[in-house]
Amino acid sequence: MSAGDRVSEEDQAQHSLQEAVSLRLNGFEYLQLRQIQQALDRLQLGEYGICLSCDGPIASKRLQALPWAKYCVNCQERIGEKHPDDDHEQKS
């Protein structure tokens, strides 16, 4: 294996890492955009700021910090941080 081959492998590894990071960021950005769109849909329906689990109000401080919040703090804690965008918990 020559020095040129080693550099090429290192370049390829770096490129693969950059692709993986980019894909992960794109996935995160897509998720965030989806959550924002869902919040805008709830706004149009007059349901913005209403918890999807308990139908109670979502605190304005929470909405200021996380405008796409679907759940009040209590329900989000109950549901857990593992599934913050879990649509299966709606209106139980």
Domain hosting 83: range is 3-89
CATH number at residue 44: 1.20.120.910
Q: What is the pLDDT of residue 80?
A: 85
Each residue's pLDDT, cut to its tens digit, for the chain (92 residues) gives: 454 455 687 777 777 777 777 777 677 888 888 999 999 999 999 999 999 999 999 999 999 999 999 999 999 999 986 554 444 333 33
Report d(CA 60, CA 86) in Å as an integer: 21
Contact of 57 with 51, CB cutoff 8 Å: yes
Q: What is the pLDDT of residue 88?
A: 39
Q: What is the pLDDT of residue 92?
A: 36
- Number of domains the chain is built from: 1
Beta partners for 57?
A: 50
